[in-house]
């Protein structure tokens, strides 16, 4: 088995402590224990729905859980990609209309 | 995101999207002239819902034509136009006849702000039942979580609206007053019955 040096072990310990602190803060803020997020590298998985409708609902719950368990900055950065691209698309449409 | 139910305040530390910046600019103009509350889809989006929208719905308190003219003038000066009519008299007429009007950045029609006077008593109650969202030092007024959930879930009822409601319920688990939601639901059911019977139609 690969041996970790002291620096790596310390780094891992710090990340774990950070994530526990983060979870504690989230619990205080929202009043609810975040779902199973005890390590920053532990992934959460979305359960696929049997129908399109169920799949959409599952995604809403999955994303809401992400929002609850991550910092505002983290989730909004992802959300903004979606929103800003729509606005950019709308502006491009106007430019095309004006050009033609 | 920190929600203080007693202060009716949500502190949000999100990065601003282009849409947020536009909303902050638009409501900054609005609030100089009239009380407003943001309702419906943008409330969910502001609070993290992963979807886009072409409009932001806003209730404004009923105002005189003179007051509206001043607001309209400032919109024009700050680079917004109304996509329903050109003259402020016509726009105001629409508002007075229970129609919402839309404003957008000059030269565009999307995203736009759909503003309207409250039509029913339940709509007017929104002005006494809102939450302040503190975002980058700016205050945005949004309808209460319970009102938002009740309208989306029991009045609008499309897939998109039910998902908007679910997002808020999931984010604020344990913080939503379901007694209040159910009370609103009863009022909504009366409105819907009246609409079906043709007594009230908007």
pLDDT tens digits for range B136-195: 999 999 999 999 999 999 999 999 999 999 999 999 999 999 999 999 999 999 999 988
Tell me how crowded residue B168 is: count the other CB atoms within 10 A of its CB.
Answer: 23
Tokens of A94: 């106007």
Q: Which of A57, A67, A82 sits opposite B171 (nearest CB)?
A: A67
Query: Rounded to a whole number, what is the distance in Å from the CA of B107 to chain A's nearest CA?
Result: 7
Chain A CB contacts of B45 below 8 Å: 79, 83
Q: Which of A60, A82, A90 sits opposite B111 (nearest CB)?
A: A90
Nearest to B165 by CA among B188, B155, B135: B155
Q: Which are the contacts of B33, defined by CB distance < 8 A and separation ≥ 6?
A: B63, B67, B70, B71, B74
Q: Which are the contacts of B161, defined by CB distance < 8 A and separation ≥ 6?
A: B152, B153
pLDDT digits (tens, 9 = 90+) for B91-135: 999 999 978 999 999 998 889 999 999 989 999 999 999 999 999
- ipTM score of complex: 0.76
Give the CA distances from residue A41 to residues A6, A46, A64, B52, B156, in Å, rounded to whole numbers and listed in that order.
20, 16, 19, 29, 39
CB A35 within 8 A of CB A23: no
Query: Rounded to a whole number, what is the distance in Å from the CA of B64 to chain A's nearest CA?
Result: 33
Q: Is B198 exposed, middle or buried (0-12, 13-18, 19+ CB in 10 A)?
A: exposed
Residue B132 DSSP label: E
Q: What is the pTM of this model?
A: 0.81
CATH number for the B2-144 domain, one of 1.10.287, 3.30.460, 3.40.50, 1.20.950?
3.30.460
Report CB contact under 8 Å: A94, B17: no
Nearest to B46 by CA among B146, B139, B184, B181: B139
């Amino acid at each position: 088995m690969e041996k970790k040096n002291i620096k790596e072990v310390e780094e891992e310990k710090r990340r774990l402590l950070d994530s526990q602190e983060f979870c504690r803060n989230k619990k205080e803020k929202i009043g609810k224990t975040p779902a199973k997020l005890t390590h920053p590298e532990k992934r959460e998985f979305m359960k696929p729905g049997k129908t399109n409708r169920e799949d959409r609902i599952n995604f809403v719950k999955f994303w809401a859980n992400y929002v609850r368990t991550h910092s505002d900055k983290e989730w909004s950065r992802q959300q903004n990609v979606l929103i800003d691209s729509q606005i950019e698309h709308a502006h491009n449409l106007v430019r095309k209309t004006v050009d033609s | 995101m920190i929600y203080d139910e007693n202060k009716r305040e949500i502190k949000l530390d999100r990065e601003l999207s282009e849409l947020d910046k536009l909303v902050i600019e638009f409501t900054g103009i609005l609030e100089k002239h009239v009380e407003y509350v943001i309702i419906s889809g943008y409330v969910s989006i502001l609070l993290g819902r992963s979807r886009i929208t072409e409009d932001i719905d806003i209730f404004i308190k009923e105002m005189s034509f003179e007051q509206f003219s001043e607001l309209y003038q400032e919109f024009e000066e700050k680079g917004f136009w109304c996509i329903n009519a050109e003259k402020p008299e016509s726009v105001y007429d629409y508002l007075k006849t229970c129609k919402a009007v839309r404003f957008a950045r000059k030269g565009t029609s999307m995203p736009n702000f759909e503003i309207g006077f409250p039509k029913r008593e339940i709509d007017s109650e929104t002005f006494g039942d809102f939450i302040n969202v503190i975002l980058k030092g700016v205050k945005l007024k949004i309808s209460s979580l319970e009102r938002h959930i009740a309208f989306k879930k029991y009045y609008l009822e499309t897939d998109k609206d039910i998902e908007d409601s679910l997002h808020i319920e999931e984010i604020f688990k344990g913080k939503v007053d379901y007694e209040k939601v159910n009370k609103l639901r009863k009022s909504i059911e009366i409105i819907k019955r009246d609409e079906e019977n043709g007594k009230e139609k908007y």
